[in-house]
Structure 1
């Protein structure tokens, strides 16, 4: 393989046409320039220059090497610049979050993509455990989690909080323990966790969500409130998810006397190099959620 440094010296010599001036341009000695050319000739087993005192002419091999070598050096330089280029408005960024945050955040991120068409947003809705695993395996650039990571490979920082709210059918004006027992519970993947957080702070009677009649289950964040819109049961959800439900006139969102908030953590893999587009998206998310 041709040494790129020697080739660069040779092509510069041909451009300049003089050993001394080439040495000055490349911050080398004149003997150093001569040595690079001789090493090239030795490597290729052919003469590249016909030396005539202080001047020279190119052999046929020298002409061919200059023409193709110059094109190669230009191509390599362009490749290097492209690799080093890190445009905050260009490229693909993979983000993961739980459903409720995603319902609020993903439409906002799409407005950024519309403004910067070369910025590609890949958004995955996932539970905390999946997000943590994806970060560790560097399958996504950043994650938003509702629980701080326990892994030493993941750096998590709280950037916002989201209220937990109780949702009932629209005709329920006030909630108390007998009403909740009568309504029954609409469950979802995080129902036990959310119920424990909110209800334990507001009802002395509460022990666990299994105290309530089971009235249904959905793992689709946008449909958890669907049975409630039919007058069936109640549930506990983060506020973003409750507000995203399409039939707001059919449900009632209750803020209880003791408010409870779920933290939102922005998380990265410690081994990842944070590129400019990830920094841009991170800053945008912080501004939007805080």
Structure 2
């Protein structure tokens, strides 16, 4: 890597046409200008011819001037990218679990629609992938259902999300035998969620695995479709239930003890969020709180 001060001296020397004028404009001694040139020529070869009336740039010197111009362009590009860190322009990446993702993605699109300079990149992923993606700087922000224990991650409470027992509209699930009659619609986190909630609602039960399983879906947006068709019940986070289009075809069984998960907003702890990322966080906090 060539010393930037040497390059600046060479550019000024080529522009001024003499060591004396270059030294004056740079506030250096002629000896310092000569030393900088010598350092460059030791690495790159002859850069200037010294003439009685000034200097003449060699082909190698012209190539170095082109290199200096390229550095200037790269510097402007970098400054431009950093300038894009405004609150209403540039890209923001956010990765989240499916349930909260269904709630926030339309909000992110609303924000992008209001600020066309903003580009939103969102991905649905399980907790482990969310954490890994933020650690690797692939995403600015992440949402987790468990608070991470990692010094490189800053985590703040974002929202709370209850688990819900969802049945077909008009059905009932007041007893364990009601659940057995309906049958369970499973999903990737279904058994774990069902055991957590049902253990509180129906103490002493045999566990969700003892219930007949009437279906399975790994698509967060489709888990409630078989429930809406009367094929069984499920346990699902509230944001996923609220995102389902056919609310009239399902029913949430209230009553009994609840299970509420805390959602954590994470980002890299070593540096502050960009203004646009802060804008996204503030917007989501405001609107998600209104829908919680």
TM-score normalized with structure 2 length: 0.80
Q: CA RMSD in A?
A: 3.2
Partner of 1:10: 10
**Structure 1 residues 3 and 174: CA distance shift in structure 2, 3 A:** closer
**Structure 1 residues 7 and 126: CA distance shift in structure 2, 3 A:** closer
> Is 2:177 the partner of 1:182?
no
Partner of 2:55: 58
**Structure 1 residues 37 and 129: CA distance shift in structure 2, 3 A:** closer
Partner of 1:48: 49
Residue 105 (structure 1) shift:
0.9
Residue 250 (structure 1) shift:
0.9
> Is 2:35 the partner of 1:35?
yes
> Is 2:81 the partner of 1:80?
no
Residue 90 (structure 1) shift:
4.6
Partner of 1:142: 141
Q: Output the CA distance in 1 between the equivalents of 2:191 and 2:173.
A: 22
Q: Output the CA distance in 1 between the equivalents of 2:47 and 2:222.
A: 76
Q: Output the CA distance in 1 between the equivalents of 2:224 and 2:7.
A: 69
Residue 171 (structure 1) shift:
0.9
**Contact 2:47/2:61, CA 8 A, preserved across alignment:** no
| Stretch moving more, 235-244 or 125-134 | 125-134
Q: Output the CA distance in 2 between the equivalents of 1:276 and 1:133.
A: 23
Count of residue correspondences:
284
> Is 2:92 the partner of 1:97?
no
**Contact 1:157/1:267, CA 8 A, preserved across alignment:** yes
Q: Output the CA distance in 2 between the equivalents of 1:182 and 1:47.
A: 92
Q: Output the CA distance in 2 between the equivalents of 1:183 and 1:2.
A: 74
Residue 24 (structure 1) shift:
4.3
Residue 161 (structure 1) shift:
0.8
SS where residue 242 of structure 1 aligns? helix
Gaps of 5+ in 1: none
**Structure 1 residues 243 and 97: CA distance shift in structure 2, 3 A:** same
Partner of 1:229: 228
**Contact 1:184/1:234, CA 8 A, preserved across alignment:** yes
**Structure 1 residues 34 and 199: CA distance shift in structure 2, 3 A:** same
Partner of 1:255: 254
**Contact 1:177/1:205, CA 8 A, preserved across alignment:** no
Residue 2 (structure 1) shift:
6.8
Residue 103 (structure 1) shift:
0.5
Partner of 2:243: 244
**Contact 1:142/1:268, CA 8 A, preserved across alignment:** yes
**Structure 1 residues 239 and 77: CA distance shift in structure 2, 3 A:** same
Q: Output the CA distance in 1 between the equivalents of 2:117 and 2:241.
A: 33
**Contact 2:18/2:55, CA 8 A, preserved across alignment:** no
Residue 166 (structure 1) shift:
1.6
Residue 79 (structure 1) shift:
0.7
TM-score normalized with structure 1 length: 0.80
Q: Output the CA distance in 2 between the equivalents of 1:151 and 1:268.
A: 11
Gaps of 5+ in 2: none
Q: Output the CA distance in 2 between the equivalents of 1:45 and 1:216.
A: 78
Equivalent positions of 1:213-228 (< 5 A) are 213-228=212-227
